[in-house]
Structure 1
Amino acid sequence: MQVFNVQGMTCGHCVKAVTRAVQAQDAAAQVEVDLAGKQVKVQSQLSAEQLLEAIREEGYQAESA
């Protein structure tokens, strides 16, 4: 499980956008978004850098927690 701090998420649309971005790179990825805590947990075969890039390409500031 990889955990990322993601800034800029404010609503359900943001949750869907981040989830779609990660799953576009790894269809089998399991994504859990905590809006209040501004964290995204991902179970994936991809590296943290690949996952961060996918989230950043959606327009969110992200870093490993």
Structure 2
Amino acid sequence: METAPDLPKIGAPATGALAAIGVTRLAETARFTERELLALHGVGPKAVRILREALAERGLSLSGE
């Protein structure tokens, strides 16, 4: 059974950019580096910070960290 998306509130442009590459769950963002995320149109430093903090709360981190 598919679980509901659990991305934190990072704004519509950033959420859309992640969805465009098939990312709908927070844990999926751990496959990417900060640089890769920032390269997505619509994802800025604030969105990356929020994602990083949410990952840390779950014992995860961005790739390469």
The two structures have a TM-score, normalised by structure 1, of 0.33
**Bigger Rg over Cα:** 2
The two structures have a TM-score, normalised by structure 2, of 0.33
* Structure that is richer in helix per residue: 2
Greater relative contact order (Cα < 8 A, sep 6+): 1
* Structure that is richer in strand per residue: 1
